[in-house]
Amino acid sequence: MALRNKKSDQPIKVKKESLKKSIQIFRYIRPYMGYFVLGMFFLVLGSLIFMALMGLPGEMANIAIGSPKFNLGLKVYDFWWIFLTILLLQGLFSYARTYLFAVVSEKGMADLRKDLYQKIITQPVAFFEEKRVGELTSRITTDVEQLQAAFSVTLAEFIRQIVILIAGIFIIFIWTPRLSTIMLLTFPAIVISAMVFGRFIKKLSRQRQDELARTNTIVEETFQSFTIVKSFANELYETIRYGKSVDRIVKVSLDFAKMRGIFFTFIITILFGGIFFILWQGALMLEKGQMEAGDLFSFIMYTGILGGAIASLGTLATQLLTAVGATEKILEILNTPSEFDINQSGHAEDLKIKGDIDYKNIRFAYPTRKDTNVLNDISIHLDAGKKVALVGQSGAGKSTIVQLLMKFYTPDSGEITIDGTNINDFNITAYRKNIGIVPQEIILFGGTIRENISYGKPGASDEEIIEAAKQSNSWEFISSFPEGLDTIVGDRGMKLSGGQRQRIAIARAILKDPKILILDEATSSLDAESEKLVQDALDKLMANRTSIIIAHRLATIRDVDWIYVLENGQIVEQGSHHELTEDENGVYASLARLQFDSANHI
């Protein structure tokens, strides 16, 4: 089987193996199989009643002219309550079917969303380096929505149309066998031709949507980066680029209009011509007394229903195949091994660690760049409760050292130990609860200040949150807000200043009360006043904790216990600030002279 790729319109093959794998997704329907079976029962019963209902008007017309086809002993007057009863039953069955399939799709896909989110959130950092966030978001939203539509509407409608098609063919052959033979010899060819035309129209429609999407992308990019456009004086360039994109939309739209015009001409001349030919044959049979007027009326109705069913099956089959493709992408993620079992993480025992850290002969290259070593035979020791700084140019390996400590990656060789135990032997959740980090670029969640601080200790009391805020020098500005802790910080914390965001992050780390603290240039982007407040808060936070400080500004690490200087993934110098500055030819001394001399000139 094949379906079309929306971007390239190239056929995507759906192999038997893919269909077999896609059946795995039905495990999310299994808990609600009773609802599904009952829904199918109402679907089939409702479809059969619908087909029976379509034959009643013709029989009513036969009774009216005194030539009933079936000796039911009914009069025309009796049909009002028959129609009413059947319509009420049809409505009841339709409601029951819709609700039951909604239960199956909503609850089943809710379970799938939860599992998919759980699987994604428990992946290692390397997974997010290989996958784009937009792609993962699409899996958990668009792809799941396609499956939900397939289970709630498409699959049910597909089966309904099959029931209608089979029942309809059976009824018309019983009702008007001769006219049915004529119809079956001519009508399928007409409907198939209409489906082929429809395929071309869909192709052009997709092309138009793709061009429209590209045009919208230009608009979004230029509006979001408006200052860049202005600073490079590229208004004319962007206007021309947008104009060309709009022109492509017009070209595709005109081709689309031409094809639709041809299609409408086909519908009027061929499709309706075929219908009128069958009706003409029926009229001749009626004139010769070979059939009754009511039978011709019923035949016309059934023929229209069958034509609609045949046309719908093509569209519904394409939608189901698209859902199969979405299922395959979702299962690819669901079958990816997680970093840890999230169901066991809540039962992990608290680790009682002191904070002695040893890096022993560490070598490491990132999974996406295995040909380039980032760390080469690194050995570092940190005593519990001491402050150690990592210094070096960008790309020297400072952040990588920290990421290995947090178990974002695994060293290619060597080992990292805490209090003499390899960190790989610890429960990953319990282990990471002992590590706090204040990064250079603070990203807060878009909720309240309370929610952001308590992220360090979910369920913390207001007293604990306020105490952490006071220790981080953030309570003063928090209490000045009318909503206090309930102040909304905005997307990524954009309603707060840089210094305020840093102090909220420090409060979050204080509340977590980690044994090991990581500071990644936590004051580098702040003004002098904010830096003083943040540095004071950091000094309180670092007290009695093993602290690793990634530093570019050497003035912030004069008082640390030990400094490691890195170049090209290797430690080239180590010692205290005083010891390293005494070596005038050393790397650290050169950096210190450069920074301190620049500061004195300002």
The answer to whether the beta carbons of residues 472 and 541 sit under 8 Å apart is yes
Q: Which of 89-93, 347-351, 582-586 has the lowest mean pLDDT?
A: 347-351
Chain segment 14-29, per-residue pLDDT in tens? 455 655 666 777 788 8
Ramachandran assignment for 73, one of left (phi > 0), alpha (psi -120 to 50 degrees), beta (any other): left
d(Cα 103, Cα 96) in Å, to the nearest integer? 11
- Min mean pLDDT across 92-96, 146-150, 422-426 is at 146-150
- Give the Cα separation of 411 and 516 in Å (integer): 20
What stretches of 243-352 adopt beta strand conformation (E)?
Answer: none
Residue 589, pLDDT > 80, answer: yes
Average pLDDT of the residues in 278-284? 74
The most confident of 133-147, 337-351, 577-591, by mean pLDDT: 577-591
Phi-psi region of 323 (alpha: psi -120 to 50; beta: other; left: phi over 0): alpha
Judge whether 205 and 255 are in contact, CB under 8 Å. Answer: no
The CA distances from residue 593 to 525, 550, 584, in Å, are 21, 19, 9
- What pLDDT score does 324 carry? 73
Q: In 513-584, which residue ranges form alpha helices assigned H by DSSP?
A: 528-542, 577-582
Residue with the larger pLDDT of the pair 230 and 123: 123
Measure Cα distances from 282 to 163, 181, 231 in Å: 26, 12, 75
Structure confidence at residue 272 as a pLDDT band (50, 70, 90): low
Kindly indicate the confidence band of residue 93, based on its pLDDT and cuts at 50, 70 and 90: confident
DSSP state at residue 427: -
Q: How many helices (H) and strands (E) does the chain have?
A: 22, 12
Assess contact for 144 and 110: CB atoms under 8 A: no
pLDDT digits (tens, 9 = 90+) for 51-61: 777 766 666 76
Cβ(589)–Cβ(581) below 8 Å: yes
Interval 344-387: pLDDT, tens: 666 666 778 888 999 999 999 888 777 788 898 889 988 888 88
Question: CA 377 from chain center: how many Å?
Answer: 40
**pLDDT at 361 (0 to 100):** 92
- Give the tokens for residue 283: 């009229």
Both tokens assigned to 251: 């070209």
Separation between Cα atoms, residue 382 and residue 548, nearest integer Å: 9
Could you report the per-residue pLDDT of 496-542, keeping only the tens digit for each? Answer: 887 888 888 888 888 888 888 888 876 655 566 666 777 777 777 78
Is residue 193 predicted with pLDDT exceeding 70? no
pLDDT value at residue 11: 42
SS3 category, 448: strand
The torsion angles phi and psi of 551, rounded to 5 degrees, stand at -130, 135
Structural contact between residues 40 and 108, judged by C-beta atoms closer than 8 angstroms: no
**Does residue 282 contact residue 296 with C-beta atoms inside 8 Å?**
yes
Q: Is the pTM of this model over 0.85?
A: no
For the stretch 251-263, pLDDT in tens is: 888 887 787 777 6
Look at residue 1 and tell me whether its pLDDT is greater than 60: no
CA distances from 432 to 258, 333, 408, 426 (A): 63, 24, 10, 9
What does the pLDDT average to over 324-336? 79
Averaged pLDDT for residues 327-346? 77
Mean pLDDT of the chain: 78
